[in-house]
Amino acid sequence: MSTPAVVLEAARERRRRFAANNLLVISCGVVIAVAVFLAIFGPLLAPHDPNAANLANAYVGPVAGHALGYDSQGRDLLSRLLTGARTSIAGPFLVVLVSMVAGSVLAVTAAWAGRWVDASISTVLDILFAFPAILLAVLAAAVFGAGLTAPTLALAIAYTPYIARVLRGAALRERAREYVDACEVQGLSAVAICARHLIPNLMPLIVAQATLLFGYAMVDFAAISFIGLGVQPPTADWGVMVASGQAGVLQGYPLESLTAGLCIVVVVVAVNLLGERLAADSEAR
Amino acid sequence: MGSFLARRALMLVAALLVSSFVIFGSLDLAPGDPLATLTGGRTLPPEAVAQLRAQYHLDDTFLVRYVDWVGNAVLHGDLGTSIAFRGSVASVIGARAGVTIELVLYAGLLITLFGVGLGVVSGLRRGALDTSIVASTSILAAVPSFVAAIILLSVFSVDVGWFPELGAGEGFADRIWHLTLPAIALALSAMAIVVRVTRVAVRTEMSREHVQTAVSRGIPSSLVVRRHVLRNAAIPVTTVVGITITSLIALSAVVERAFSLDGLGAALVQAALSKDFAVVQGISLIFVTAFVVANVVVDLLYAVLDPRVAIGSRAV
């Protein structure tokens, strides 16, 4: 007689966990949607000019009309956070876009062509593994100068082998499936099979990897700006703001660094949790 | 095992050759006249220019200079002359390597102790403690090292005053005291990842049939955990700990900037900003070498812990 109660209890527990999980995914989605919205419209929403400095207001706390007060240069902190969303999110987005496209093309080419093409692509990727992302970005900044372009490209190149390695394995498994043979028998070209069937079938994995990668890219991109080789001050950017607020931290005014750091952490947590969920789902398929 | 070692050694040499070529080549072929950087824009008499050209081998072809550079680095430990730091690159590196090595080792120790320790605890006991460890690691994994640095500085140096704000300190005890906050900042997100991997590894081993059998036979759980669970869980955990610690080598640059530590990473960033290419090349070479060698060591450890790897049937 006790069995049904146990089963019911287990079902209830499962439902509860499912609901809790969904709530988590929905809240992550909301955070990411807000972040994307701010990346697009943030600069327009800023109530004040993010670069209008007035040293007399330096480190003045929240007052009416300035919800978060002023930063080290007496600029409106809220306006700078809203404006800074753009580079802080668009930069890593570009990194992810470039390395996902490069990684997917390399992985599918290697898996499809096999033999020496696969061997040479894999060797090049193995060697690229020797470069930590941050180091490659510092090198790029040294050669081409600090700024947005060089570190973005360098990070994209540094991440490509990681993406390509995961996707190559999946593409190899996909290539061995029967539908690929069926398409070949029907006379479809390799490019058509890859573009119409193989890559769409890899899409859940690609999206999951891209989401997880965005978290890493956002942290590394902000780190490059923090050490002074990425986005250049006085441009408002979350990584730059953590650095420019550091003097204030030591004087007991941590608001600028902490709020900018918090923005980064909140977005990365949301992206990571969503990415883990997507990765688990794409594995379960 | 012999052929496995040989293959790894070959890959190691190939990776070092190619990466040193990339490091040297990218900076050597960088836009801009190296002479202009050397003279700082001043106009010098022709004989001084000729002397500079000779001293920095500017008239040799690219390949000759690359071979010279690698040869001098390997044979004499000579990496050229720094423009901004006034001295040989080797002395710039020698004076700063200590702080970076200590910082990375300190952070590595924290990751191993707390990352693996909390992961095992979380993996063995279900309940509130496990849930809170999992929840806090998903947040900590997302905290960038420089944000952690700011928070630690703000709370423990400025507000409470337990730790010094900046600098590396003198003497052993003082050095440890100064490097504590930087090491925590460097270790934090990597530690969170190690906790999660360890927890999953322990859970996976706990659910294996031979473990269940051992438990059902009445073997004391502490013995089962020690003999069967931890020993097998050690394989993925060692790999992740190794990989995360090697990834700290480059990341140390960010933490050193945040805490004004005069280490290799900080010098690398400073050299990149001031276009002091000899220093950028030298420190990059050191970092890549350390990174590649550490990765090979992790691979070898993996093979020692799991003999199946060396034999060739990769364990899943």
Q: Does B260 touch chain A (CB under 8 A)?
A: no
Which of B139, B153, B292 is nearest residue A250 as measured by Cβ atoms? B153
Quick check: A233 pLDDT over 80? yes
Q: Does B286 touch chain A (CB under 8 A)?
A: no
Quick check: A93 pLDDT over 90? yes
Q: Each residue of A101-115: pLDDT tens digit?
A: 999 999 888 888 878
> B138 vs A269: CB contact, 8 Å cut-off?
yes
Kindly list the residues from chain B whose CB atom is less than 8 angstroms away from the CB atom of residue A230: none
Q: Each residue of A22-36: pLDDT tens digit?
A: 888 888 888 898 888
pLDDT at B315: 38
Tell me the count of A-B CB pairs closer than 8 A: 141
Q: Encoding tokens for residue A42? A: 């943030």
B114 versus A114: which is more confidently predicted?
B114
Q: DSSP state, B81?
A: E
Mean pLDDT, residues B175-198 taken together: 87
DSSP string, A210-262: HHHHHHHHHHHHHHHHHTTSSSPTTS--HHHHHHHTHHHHHTT--HHHHHHHH
Mean pLDDT of chain A: 83
Taken as a whole, chain A contains a residue count of: 285
Which of A130, A134, A246 is nearest residue B253 as measured by Cβ atoms? A134
A190 versus B309: which is more confidently predicted?
A190
pLDDT at A132: 85
The A-side interface with B (CB below 8 A) comprises 126-127, 129-135, 138-144, 146, 215, 219, 222-223, 226-229, 239, 242-243, 245-246, 249-250, 252, 254, 257-258, 261, 264-265, 268-269, 272-273
For β-strands B81-82 and B87-88, DSSP reports them as antiparallel
> B268 vs A138: CB contact, 8 Å cut-off?
yes
Quick check: B34 pLDDT over 70? no
83-122 in chain B: CB under 8 A from chain A: none
Q: How far does B117 lie from chain A, in Å, by closest CA?
A: 23
Answer for the pair B53, B46: CB distance below 8 angstroms, yes or no.
no
ipTM confidence = 0.82
Confidence of residue A156 (pLDDT cuts 50, 70, 90): very high
Classify burial at B45, counting beta carbons within 10 Å of its beta carbon; exposed 0-12, middle 13-18, buried 19 or more: exposed
Quick check: B37 pLDDT over 70? no
Quick check: B313 pLDDT over 60? no
CA distances from A100 to A131, A172, A216, B55, B298 (A): 18, 17, 13, 44, 27
Mutate to test the interface with A, among B24, B147, B261, B269 (most CBs of A within 10 A): B147
Mean pLDDT, residues B293-311 taken together: 79
Q: DSSP state, B111?
A: I
Most confident of B23-27, B97-101, B105-109, B240-244: B105-109
Which of A130, A265, A273 is nearest residue B147 as measured by Cβ atoms? A265
Side-chain-side CA neighbours of residue A278 (13 Å): 21
> B295 vs A129: CB contact, 8 Å cut-off?
yes
Which of A130, A252, A273 is nearest residue B291 as measured by Cβ atoms? A130
Confidence of residue B312 (pLDDT cuts 50, 70, 90): low
Which of A133, A143, A222 is nearest residue B26 as measured by Cβ atoms? A143
Q: Each residue of B244-281: pLDDT tens digit?
A: 888 888 899 899 988 888 889 888 988 888 888 888 88
Quick check: A100 pLDDT over 90? yes
Q: How far does B164 lie from chain A, in Å, by closest CA?
A: 11
pTM surpassing 0.90? no
CA distances from B59 to A109, A236, B73 (A): 42, 44, 20
pLDDT at A102: 92
Quick check: A53 pLDDT over 80? no
Mean pLDDT, residues A236-245 taken together: 87
Rounded CA-CA distance B162/B147 in Å is 19
* Element housing B88 (H / E): strand B87-88
Of the listed ranges A7-21, A73-87, B212-226, the least confidently predicted one is: A7-21
> Among A74, A34, A67, which residue's Cα sits nearest to residue A50?
A74
Tokens 């496990």 sit on residue: B130
pLDDT at A1: 46
Mean pLDDT, residues A177-198 taken together: 80
Q: Each residue of A121-147: pLDDT tens digit?
A: 888 887 787 788 888 888 888 888 888
Cis peptide before B31 (omega within 30 of 0): no
Kindly list the residues from chain B whose CB atom is less than 8 angstroms away from the CB atom of residue A233: none
Q: Does B158 touch chain A (CB under 8 A)?
A: yes
What is the percentage of chain A residues whose pLDDT exceeds 90? 14
Q: Encoding tokens for residue A102? A: 């490069």
Rounded CA-CA distance B284/B97 in Å is 13
Q: Which residue of B has its CA nearest to A272?
A: B142
Q: Which residue of A has its CA nearest to B256?
A: A227
pLDDT at B40: 64
A92 versus B52: which is more confidently predicted?
A92
Q: Which residue of B has its CA nearest to A125?
A: B15
Kindly list the residues from chain B whose CB atom is less than 8 angstroms away from the CB atom of residue A239: 146
SS3 B82: strand
> B254 vs A141: CB contact, 8 Å cut-off?
no
Q: How far does B313 lie from chain A, in Å, by closest CA?
A: 16
Rounded CA-CA distance A115/A126 in Å is 16
| Dmax (CA) of chain B | 89
Answer for the pair B62, B54: CB distance below 8 angstroms, yes or no.
no
Of the listed ranges A107-111, B33-37, B228-232, B302-306, the least confidently predicted one is: B33-37
Q: How far does A153 lie from chain B, in Å, by closest CA?
A: 14
Mean pLDDT of chain B: 81
pLDDT at A145: 80
Mean pLDDT, residues A170-183 taken together: 82
pLDDT at B314: 43
